[in-house]
Amino acid sequence: MATEEPREATSSAPDWHRQDARQTVEICGVDPDRGLSAAEAAKRLARWGPNRLPGGTQRSLWRLVLEQFNDFMVLVLLAAAGVSGLIGERTDTVVILLIVTINASIGVFQRWRADQALAALQGLAAPRARVRREGQWRSVPAEELVPGDIVALEAGDQVGADLRLIEVAQLQVDESALTGESVSVAKHTEALDGPQLMLGDRANMAFKGTLVTHGRAIGVVVATGSATELGKIARLLGEAGERLTPLQQRLADFGRRLTWVILGICIVIFVAGLLRGEPALLMALTAISLAVAAIPEALPAVVTVLLALGARKMVRHHVLARRLSAVESLGSVTFICSDKTGTLTRNRMHAERLLASGRRWQTQDAQAPEGFEPLLRAATLCNDAHRAPQGPAASGSDGRWRGDPTEVALVELAALAGLDKSALDAQTPRLAELPFDATRKRMTSFHRVGERILAYTKGAPESVLPRCNQVLGANGRPEPIDVAAWLADAEALAAQGLRVLALAQKEHAAVPGAPEPERDESGLTLLGLVGLIDPPRPEAAHAVRECRQAGITPVMITGDHPATARAIAHRIGILDDAREAVLSGPELASMDDDALRARVRAVRVYARMDPAQKIRIVEALQREGEFVAMTGDGVNDAPALKRADIGVAMGQGGTDVAREAAGLVLLDDNFASIVAAVREGRRIYDNIRKFVRYAMTGNSAEIWVLMLAPMVGLPLPLLPIHILWVNLLTDGLPGLALAAEPGEPDLMRRPPRPPKESLFAHGMAAHILGFGLLIAGLCLAIQAWALHSAQAHWQTMVFTVLTFGQLAHILAIRSETQALWRLGLRSNWPLLGTVLGTIALQLAVIYVPALNPIFRTEPLDVADLGLCLGSALLVWLAVEGEKAWRRRRTRGAASL
Once rounded to an integer, what is the mean pLDDT over residues 240-254? 58
pLDDT, position 112: 61
pLDDT over 80 at 310, yes or no: no
Q: What is the per-residue pLDDT for 1?
A: 43
Supply the pTM of this predicted model: 0.66
Active-site residue, from 71, 149, 339, 560 = 339
Q: Measured between alpha carbons, how far is 238 from 241 in angstroms, rounded to an integer?
A: 8
Of the ranges 73-77, 350-354, 405-409, 564-568, which one carries the lowest mean pLDDT score? 73-77
Asked whether the beta carbons of 765 and 791 are under 8 A apart, the reply is no
In angstroms, the Cα distances linking 188 to 222, 397, 875 are 16, 27, 78
From 116-130, 143-157, 465-479, 587-601, the region with the lowest mean pLDDT: 116-130
Reported in sequence order, the residue ranges of 54-206 that DSSP labels E, i.e. its strands, are 128-133, 136-141, 150-154, 162-174, 185-186, 205-206
pLDDT band at 118 (very low <50, low <70, confident <90, very high): very low
What confidence tens digit (pLDDT) does each residue in 128-168 have? Answer: 789 999 999 998 888 899 999 999 998 768 888 999 999 99
Distances in whole angstroms, Cα of residue 177 to Cα of each of 237, 440, 637:
15, 27, 9
Rounded Cα gap, residues 658 and 117, in angstroms: 8
Please indicate whether residue 859 or residue 712 has the higher confidence score (pLDDT): 859
How far does the chain reach from its first CA to its final CA, in angstroms? 82
37-46, 140-149, 523-532, 572-581: which range is least confident on average? 572-581
Q: Average the pLDDT over 278-290 and give the result.
A: 70
Range in 47-61, 239-253, 630-644, 788-802 the model is least confident about: 239-253
CA atoms within 13 A on the CB side of 697: 32
Active site residue 339: yes
pLDDT recorded at residue 374: 92
* Mean pLDDT of the 580-593 span: 89
Residue 46 pLDDT greater than 80, yes or no: yes
The answer to whether the CB of 537 falls within 8 A of the CB of 567 is no
pLDDT for residue 395: 42
Domains and CATH numbers, the chain: 16-55+123-239 (2.70.150.10), 61-114 (no CATH), 246-318+676-741+759-895 (1.20.1110.10), 330-346+537-669 (3.40.50.1000), 359-525 (3.40.1110.10)
Contacts of 831 (CB under 8 A, 6+ apart): 734, 737, 738, 740, 741, 810, 811, 814
Q: Please check the confidence at residue 67 and state whether its pLDDT lies above 70.
A: no
Strand order across the beta sheet in which 583-584 lies:
319-321, 664-666, 646-650, 628-632, 335-338, 553-557, 605-607, 583-584
Higher pLDDT, residue 15 or 411: 411
* Residue 626 CB coordination number (10 Å): 21
Query: What's residue 872's pLDDT?
Result: 95
Write the CB contacts of 820 (distance below 8 Å, at least 6 apart in sequence). 811, 812, 814, 876, 880
Output phi, psi for 216, to 5 deg.
-150, 165
Lowest mean pLDDT among 93-102, 135-144, 633-642, 867-876: 93-102
Using alpha carbons only, what angle is made at residue 557 by residues 319 and 234, rounded to the nearest 5 degrees? 75
Give the confidence band of 9 by pLDDT, cuts at 50, 70, 90. Answer: very low
Q: Provide CB contacts within 8 A for 90, sequence distance 6+.
A: 84
* Amino acid of residue 341: T
Average pLDDT rounded to a whole number, residues 628-639 = 78
Of 97-106, 357-366, 479-488, 756-765, highest mean pLDDT: 479-488
Name the band, by pLDDT with cuts 50, 70 and 90, for residue 643: confident
HSE-up of residue 98 (Cα within 13 Å, Cβ side): 8
**Span 423-427, mean pLDDT?**
91
Distances (CA, A) of 593 to 42, 559, 630: 43, 20, 20
Cα(458)–Cα(177) distance, integer angstroms: 27
CB 223 within 8 A of CB 147: yes
Which residues are CB-contacts of 333 (< 8 A; sequence separation ≥ 6)? 552, 627, 628, 629, 645, 646, 678, 752
Confidence band (pLDDT; 50, 70, 90) for 278? Answer: confident
Q: Where are the beta strands (DSSP E) in 91-144?
A: 128-133, 136-141
pLDDT of 123: 46
H helices present in 316-404, as ranges: 324-329, 373-381
How do residues 440-457 score in pLDDT, each as one tens digit? 889 999 998 888 899 999
Rounded mean pLDDT, 773-787:
95
Per-chain mean pLDDT for the chain: 81
The proportion of the chain whose per-residue pLDDT surpasses 90, expressed as a percent, equals 32
Query: Which of the four pLDDT bands, split at 50, 70 and 90, describes residue 510?
Result: confident
Distances (CA, A) of 250 to 66, 253, 329, 736: 22, 5, 12, 19
Backbone angles phi, psi at 432, to 5 degrees: -165, 170
Task: Quote the pLDDT of residue 670.
Answer: 72
CB count in 10 Å sphere of residue 10: 9
Across 834-841, average pLDDT: 92
Residue 750: pLDDT band (50, 70, 90) is: confident
The whole-angstrom separation of Cα 479 and Cα 477 is 6
Rg (CA), the chain: 36
Q: What is the average per-residue pLDDT within 548-557?
A: 90
Residue 229 has pLDDT above 90, yes or no: no
Q: Which of 74-78, 212-216, 777-781 has the lowest mean pLDDT?
A: 74-78
Question: Please, which residues have CB within 8 angstroms of residue 100's CB and are 6 or more apart in sequence?
Answer: 69, 74, 77, 78, 81, 300
Provide the pLDDT confidence category of residue 114 given band limits of 50, 70 and 90.
very low
- Packing angle, helices 794-812 and 673-711, rounded to 10: 160
Average pLDDT of the segment spanning 483-493: 93
User: Band of the pLDDT at 610, cuts 50, 70, 90?
Assistant: confident
